[in-house]
Amino acid sequence: MFRKVLIANRGEIALRVINACRELGIRTVAIYSEADRNSLHVRFADEAICIGPPRPADSYLNVPAVISAAEIANVDAIHPGYGLLSENANFAEVCRASNIKFIGPPPEVTRLMGEKEKARQAMKKAKVPILPGSDGVVDSEEDAQEWAQRVGFPVILKAKAGGGGRGMRIVRTAEELPNLYHAASTEAANAFGNGELYMEKFIERPRHIEFQVLADEHGDVRTLFERECSIQRRHQKLIEEAPSLQVTPKIREEIDATLRRCLTEIGYQNAGTVEFLMDEDRQIYFIEMNTRIQVEHPVTEFITGIDLVKAQLRIASGERLSDILPAKLEMRGHAIECRINAENPVKFTPSAGRITAFNVPGGNGVRVDTAQYAEGVVPPYYDSLIAKLIVHGDTREEAMNKMQRALSQFVVQGIETSIPLHQAIFEDENFRKGEFDTKFMERFLAARQ
Ligand code: MV4
């Protein structure tokens, strides 16, 4: 096992990784920006190194600064958390060249999955169901028209280098295709430095369902069931749960068998998430793969009893999945996560500043992942996520009731948070019945006006 690990992140996920290391007897090195001097990840790590000014580009995203800190502290490995450098293949390559183990997949695999159209073709080749669409990128407006005729409107144009919904356009008729093609391509070029697009059949009211995977460095791949992530606004997830009410044991077994074969073939390693869309006929289609630990990993930890971050560390140090996971994984109960953001719950404007009072709920089946504390400061430079509230019950109904109890005891004063929004969602009849898709929040917010 590693002797010492640097955590190239901040906030709750930095603390989450520190906790896993501490429990495995690994020394930890925090890095921090000038804005995070008083953060808990700095206080709870064995060592901490300031790597630059507040702006992410000057600190957490500054590869030479991160690598210098790792070399000065003489670490064996770097855990990137989520966001920031976690899916940056160049960073993983620099780690490799510096003889530091990057805790994640090899850079070649990260690069493949980052090119969404290549990932799609790789999945297709391995018989993972994908949506009808272009074979590779569409390289002109004329090419796009041809594919759209073949696939049938509505279609969706997506950026090859994309993510987060940028460079995406829904096209409903041949007439509007030229304008939307150029708009998507220009937006993608500005956002990602690459304007290449591909095309898929558009699903009107999809559900977003993702499968958690773990792969060791000896060719063994296992899935740890699915998460339902349809409750989101502007491509930011708000609530995630596991299992999904829509996924039958048969679907679960089929996806498991297909992904094990496919990801072994690709040479996948460490933790990853495979994203699917499910249509109204419960058909499920691959859309993209995330090559990192995700924000919502605790819901999977609750229903499986597996510590995914410890599993990442053990896999990266060469251990076999057969020594990390039980022979047969059991799925137990139902888990739900609410993302608590520092923002106005109605206007969604960011709310930075000093937290004056902070009470975290607890009790059976309640988990709070946060790096915040009373008198702490939420800086304006970073993601607005300040806490994750995760609950586990025997049934979805019990989990929802537990969440409502926990939300009512979660006190944050001094800044605004999304807690009141979550409370309103948990009173919604359709949400409670599990009747929702990725358009749920749009309808919910429109009805509140
Ligand atoms: C789609 C889609 C409908 N049809 N693809 C949005 C972000 C990107 N990761 C994929 N996205 C979508 N792709 C086809 N062929 C609808 C979305 C989509 C969406 C997907 C998951 C969760 C929330 C979403 C919100 C709007 C659109």
Amino acid occupying residue 3: R
Vertex 125 angle, CA 121 and 127, to 5°: 115
277 & 185 share domain:
no
Instruction: Tell me the pLDDT band of 305, cut-offs 50, 70 and 90.
Output: very high
196 & 217 share domain:
no
Give the separation between CA 8 and CA 315, rounded to whole angstroms: 18
48 & 196 share domain:
no
Does residue 153 lie within any of the structural domains? yes
Place of tokens 């749960």: 241
CATH number at residue 184: 3.30.1490.20
> H-helix or E-strand containing 211?
strand 207-215
CATH number at residue 42: 3.40.50.20
Q: Which two tokens stand for residue 29?
A: 């090195």
Checking if the pLDDT of 40 tops 90, the result is yes
DSSP, collapsed to helix, strand or coil, labels residue 411 as strand
What is the β-pairing status of strands 385-393 and 366-370?
antiparallel
178 & 265 share domain:
no
Give the separation between CA 9 and CA 74, rounded to whole angstroms: 18
Residue of 66, 82, 50 lying closest to 6 (CA atoms): 66
Number of domains in the chain: 3
pLDDT tens for 247-256 read 999 999 999 9
DSSP E strands in 132-194: the ranges are 155-159, 169-171
Domain that holds residue 166: 132-201
> Nearest 5°: phi and psi at 233?
-135, 130
pLDDT tens for 260-293 read 999 999 999 999 999 999 999 999 999 999 999 9
Mean pLDDT of 164-184: 95
74 & 179 share domain:
no
Does residue 114 lie within any of the structural domains? no
> Does the beta carbon of 200 lie inside 6 Å of ligand 1?
yes
> H-helix or E-strand containing 393?
strand 385-393
Mean pLDDT of 132-160: 96
CATH number at residue 437: 3.30.470.20
401 vs 41, 81, 98, 207, 273, CA distance in Å?
A: 32, 31, 50, 23, 28
Mean pLDDT of 196-218: 98
Q: Are 425 and 232 in contact (CB under 8 A)?
A: no
92 & 151 share domain:
no
Does residue 390 lie within any of the structural domains? yes
Does residue 108 lie within any of the structural domains? no
Checking if the pLDDT of 164 tops 80, the result is no
For the four alpha carbons of 382, 386, 389 and 390, in that order, the dihedral sign comes to positive
Checking if the pLDDT of 72 tops 90, the result is yes
- Give the pLDDT confidence score for residue 95 in this predicted structure: 98
Could you tell me the pTM of the whole model? 0.97
Instruction: Tell me the pLDDT band of 137, cut-offs 50, 70 and 90.
Output: very high
Q: Are 180 and 187 in contact (CB under 8 A)?
A: no
Does residue 127 lie within any of the structural domains? no
Residue finishing a domain among 82, 103, 124: 103
Checking if the pLDDT of 373 tops 90, the result is yes
Strand ordering across the sheet containing 197-201: 169-171, 155-159, 197-201
Checking if the pLDDT of 163 tops 90, the result is no
> Which residue puts its alpha carbon closest to atom 7 of ligand 1?
165
Query: How remote is the CA of residue 359 from the centroid of ligand 1, in Å?
Result: 36
Does residue 176 lie within any of the structural domains? yes
- Give the pLDDT confidence score for residue 278 in this predicted structure: 98
Which atom in ligand 1 lies closest to the alpha carbon of residue 288?
Answer: 9
39 vs 28, 150, 439, CA distance in Å?
A: 15, 54, 36
84 & 189 share domain:
no
Instruction: Tell me the pLDDT band of 162, cut-offs 50, 70 and 90.
Output: confident
Query: How remote is the CA of residue 298 from the centroid of ligand 1, in Å?
Result: 23
- Give the pLDDT confidence score for residue 225 in this predicted structure: 98
Q: Are 6 and 29 in contact (CB under 8 A)?
A: yes
- Give the pLDDT confidence score for residue 49 in this predicted structure: 98
β-partners of residue 13 are none
Does residue 126 lie within any of the structural domains? no
What is the β-pairing status of strands 4-7 and 27-33?
parallel
pLDDT tens for 48-59 read 999 999 999 999
pLDDT tens for 145-157 read 999 999 999 999 9
- Give the pLDDT confidence score for residue 42 in this predicted structure: 98
170 & 280 share domain:
no
Which atom in ligand 1 lies closest to the alpha carbon of residue 204?
Answer: 3
Positions marked catalytic: 292
299 & 334 share domain:
yes
Instruction: Tell me the pLDDT band of 318, cut-offs 50, 70 and 90.
Output: very high
Mean pLDDT of 440-449: 94
Q: By CB neighbour count within 10 A (0-12 exposed, 13-18 middle, 19+ buried), where does 347 fall? A: exposed
220 & 339 share domain:
yes
Query: How remote is the CA of residue 126 from the centroid of ligand 1, in Å?
Result: 22
- Give the pLDDT confidence score for residue 75 in this predicted structure: 98
For residue 54, whether the previous peptide bond is cis, meaning omega lies within 30 degrees of 0, is no
> Which residue puts its alpha carbon closest to atom 18 of ligand 1?
438
> Does the beta carbon of 235 lie inside 6 Å of ligand 1?
yes
DSSP, collapsed to helix, strand or coil, labels residue 115 as coil
Q: Are 250 and 187 in contact (CB under 8 A)?
A: no
Checking if the pLDDT of 168 tops 90, the result is yes
239 & 322 share domain:
yes
- Give the pLDDT confidence score for residue 449 in this predicted structure: 78
Give the separation between CA 65 and CA 69, rounded to whole angstroms: 6
Q: By CB neighbour count within 10 A (0-12 exposed, 13-18 middle, 19+ buried), where does 43 fall? A: middle
141 & 224 share domain:
no
Percent of the residues in the chain that have a pLDDT greater than 90, as a whole number: 98
Does residue 116 lie within any of the structural domains? no
pLDDT tens for 228-239 read 999 999 999 999
Round the average pLDDT of the chain to a whole number and report it: 97
Neighbours of 421 (CB within 10 A): 24
